[in-house]
Structure 1
Amino acid sequence: MHGATMARNIRRVGIPVGKTHDRRSNDTLAAGQYAPIDVEDPYDRNGKITVLRQLRCDPLARLHTHHQIDEAQYHAGRAYQRDWEVAERGAKAIDPTKEAVDGGRIPEPMTDQQGKARMRLVAMSRELGREMRKLANAVLIDGLSIEGYAIGQGRSGARWANYYGKLFRDGLDVLAVEYGLAARK
């Protein structure tokens, strides 16, 4: 009987029933750059939890954290990134410069999802225009900062960073309209 009483006491000492679990990681890198963001709780459909997101290699998250872009622009950038990831999976072009070998993998057929993502990207490319598309791909796909893109174009300084920053935000506005996240002005 003494053992059963002890087990009951141990259960009471543990985490009380109904208490929210803190699932945030304290294991962050010293060189990391982090910011909190509220996301849907995977264990509670109606709940939200605060998590830390890494900003170091994510220029879109950095702009969002510093309130330089709004929610529609942020989600439009993420939608563009998702379409790019989906479209890139599967069939790849054959590189004629490489030596052909036996036993290579048979390319996977393109799925409907990939086809739709590629069609959306073609439509987005037309809407963005050449210069905005280059900048959007550099920042959203290649992970370049706006300042890094400006330097890559042979233009440095705050004036050019501001110019490309405005051009990028304008591109995100176009994407937000095309993805149905904002109304046309």
Structure 2
Amino acid sequence: MARVRRNRSFKLANVYDRRSREIPFNAEMAEVEVDNPLALDPGEKIMAVRSIRSDPLGRLHAHHQIDEAQYRGGRAFQDDWEKAERGPQAMDPTREYVDGARMREPVTESQRQAVLRLNRIERELGTDGAALVHDVLVLGLTMDEIGQRRAVRTQRWIDYFARRFRECLDRLAVIYGFAAETGRQRAGQRR
């Protein structure tokens, strides 16, 4: 019996291609450059795909509507919010006491520092700015949804919310140390 010859050439370049070929029909994806976890040299980067469907900050960054400092400031705010949210919870007197129930976790130093930073941010952004940042970064609302919640649905208001949100991201970048404070920002604070 004759042997079957195989002329298939194996390309090693395709072996390491981990990109997904099938994505859902309603997916919103963006390419991002990240550190290579398998790299031998420190600082080596690879291209990865990230979902921006339920991430308003990621969507703004992927569409180049905000810069890297604003993006990092927003992510730092989200990180602080997650740390602070995990803190101690109030005791519910209506619940029946169960023997062997877990004790509440004590507040850690990182949680305390996160709460202090969030308090400073609320003072510097003001009530409206802090509420806008919370709506977008914590609740994941779009500018249109924020306008609907505040009963203002015109394009002018949506543009105002977007502009104000970018101003708040500028301030977050300065607070977290990702950007330097400009002379105009210092003059605006003194007023």
- TM-score grouping bracket, smaller chain normalisation: 0.7 to 0.9
The CA distance in 1 between the partners of 2:36 and 2:44, in whole Å, is 5
**Structure 1 runs (4+) greater than 4 angstroms displaced:** none
Structure 2 SS opposite 1:73: helix
Q: In structure 2, what is the Cα distance between the partners aligned to 1:95 and 1:156? A: 40
Change (3 A) 1:108 1:147: same
Report the 3-state secondary structure (helix = DSSP H, G, I; strand = E; otherwise coil) of the residue aligned with 1:128. Answer: helix
Deviation string for 1:88-109 (max 9, x for gaps)? 124222345x424324321111
TM-score by length of 2: 0.82
Residue in structure 2 matched with residue 147 of structure 1 by the alignment: 144
Q: Which amino acid aligns with 1:172?
A: L
1:102 aligns with 2:98: yes
The answer (yes or no) to whether the contact 1:132–1:167 under 8 Å persists in 2 is: yes
Whether the 8 Å CA contact 1:24–1:50 is kept in 2: the answer is: no
Pairwise CA RMSD: 2.0
* Unaligned residue ranges in structure 2 (runs of 5+): 1-8, 183-191
1:13, CA displacement in angstroms?
Answer: 5.2
1:129-168 superposed matches below 5 A = 129-168=126-165
Q: Does 2:72 align with 1:75? A: yes
Deviation per CA, 1:9-65, whole angstroms, max 9, x where unpaired?
xxx95737xx98223333422211111111111122321111111111100011111
Q: Which runs of 5+ in 1 are unaligned?
A: 1-11
TM-score, with length taken from structure 1:
0.84
What's the CA shift string for 1:156-176, capped at 9, x where partnerless?
Answer: 121111000001000001100
Matched residue type, 2:172:
L
Partner of 1:35: 30
Q: Secondary structure in 1 aligned to 2:50?
A: strand
